[in-house]
Amino acid sequence: MSTTLTGEVSRRIRRDRRFRAALEQRYASPAWRASGLCLPLDPEMFFPNAADDPAPALMICQNCPVRAACLAAALDAGDCDGVWGATTPDERRPMRQVWVSARGH
């Protein structure tokens, strides 16, 4: 994918329920971290290498009460490695471009 998103990709991201929920949590208090389901688990699960499947981490994130705030934090920080807010780095790269353009809107 090029560094500039097509209109269709941008529209798809803006409709993504995870992205929309993250927009609502964009300015959440950092206290959200204490409520993450990942907190008591091995962090390596959420930072799989290229040969590992991120599915186990994604499954945990699906039920996490703070996944939107987590995704918002990852998008604010840039294209972080690992699984954040039920997304992979490949999913967050285009989200990040839309996220940055949504600032102030």
Domain spans of the chain, in order of start: 7-101
The pLDDT, as a whole number, for residue 2 is 47
Total-model pTM: 0.88
Q: Are 61 and 86 in contact (CB under 8 A)?
A: yes
Q: At what angle do helices 67-77 and 89-101 cross, to 10 degrees?
A: 70
Alpha carbon 48 to its chain's center: 15
Measure the CA–CA gap between 44 and 61, rounded to whole angstroms: 14
> For the chain, how big is the Rg over CA atoms in Å?
13
What digits encode the pLDDT tens for the residues 23-56? Answer: 999 888 889 999 999 999 999 999 999 899 999 9
Question: Is the confidence at residue 1, as pLDDT, over 90?
Answer: no
